[in-house]
Amino acid sequence: MGERNFRELLEAQWSRGNFVCVGLDSDPEKIPESVQCRYDTASTISLFNRAIIEATSDLVCAYKPNLASYLKYGQEGLEALYRTSILMRYRAPDIPVILDAKYADIGNTNLGYASFAFDRLEVDAVTVHPYLGAEALKPFLDQTDKGIFVLCRTSNPGAGEFQDLKVDMGPILVNDQPRYRPLYQVVAQQVTRDWNKNDNCALVVGATYPDELREVRKLVGDMPILIPGIGAQGGDIEKTIVAGKDSRGQGMIINSSRGIIFASSGDDFAEVARRETIRLCEEIDRYRGGGKKG
């Protein structure tokens, strides 16, 4: 396979009007009987993922496997993730893959995480925590052709415990800038101003907090934003699009996991997954302008 650049792959999908990201959080306990392989969890997950990918690859801007969903099943889960990463490269070579791992550690340890994600799994992007600062994240930030998604304002109910804490920004230098800002806004500003030297940074902001999403978009301009929380978590698609789109009406990676891959528990799961992806595409188009998917 040739060299891949995450941002170029993503921009190409946006140009086609694709903004849905399918979260491959595959759970063997929910996978239909028709693809169950007795005593072989790796094959069960891999076959299920293959069917989902083949049913949706012309509609999406990214796939996002969640590392924890695979680690739960030990060696077989990791084998399934490895097989899926290969499958995505060959069955959907134009679609970028985001490993949702939420990495965070000191720099030396992050070297190992980066090697696993980019050298072993050959994914195009990862999610990371900002808490240890840019110095610790250097092994990721130095990957000029990859996407580095920094957690900013997450979609879980308890997100505000730390992310909404007010930080003193010092003397006001511009009249419309408040002296005290929520921590998530400080993260957004720092990533945009100081971390994005290679133009490979992006943010994670949950759809369940559209007001916060709007504030982040103002701070980061046209930087890509991964937006989880649509579907099972209850994010409002209209508010999300209005708040999250950039100056071009793009900039969004709208993630849905369970709402797509487990929309049906029957033999028609792939067909229904495609139908749900089309439905979400059409909702996105309705609020940003665009044509219908087929």
In a domain, 281, yes or no: yes
In a domain, 55, yes or no: yes
In a domain, 122, yes or no: yes
Range name among 64-73, 101-110, 158-167, 228-237 with the lowest pLDDT average: 228-237
CA atoms of 202 and 98, how far apart (whole Å): 11
In a domain, 294, yes or no: no
CA atoms of 11 and 104, how far apart (whole Å): 27
Stretch 192-208: mean pLDDT: 96
Give the pLDDT of residue 288.
86
In a domain, 275, yes or no: yes
In a domain, 217, yes or no: yes
SS3 182: strand
Helix (H), strand (E) at residue 287: helix 269-288
Q: Which residue has the higher pLDDT, 171 or 125?
A: 125
In a domain, 214, yes or no: yes
- How do strand 147-153 and strand 20-23 relate by DSSP bridges? unpaired
Give the pLDDT band of residue 291 (cuts 50, 70, 90): very low
Please state the domain count of the chain. Answer: 1
Give the count of beta carbons closer than 10 Å to the beta carbon of residue 110. 20
Determine the structural domain holding residue 256 and report its residue range. 6-288
- The CATH number assigned to the domain holding 100 equals 3.20.20.70
Active site residue 64: no
Q: Please identify which of the residues 30, 102, 138, 292 carries the catalytic annotation.
A: 102
Return the structure tokens found at 70: 């695979």
Stretch 110-134: mean pLDDT: 97
Q: Above 50 in pLDDT, residue 292?
A: no
Q: What is the pTM of this model?
A: 0.94
In a domain, 1, yes or no: no
- 226 burial type by CB count under 10 A (0-12 exposed, 13-18 middle, 19+ buried): buried
In the chain, pLDDT over 70 holds for what percent of residues? 93
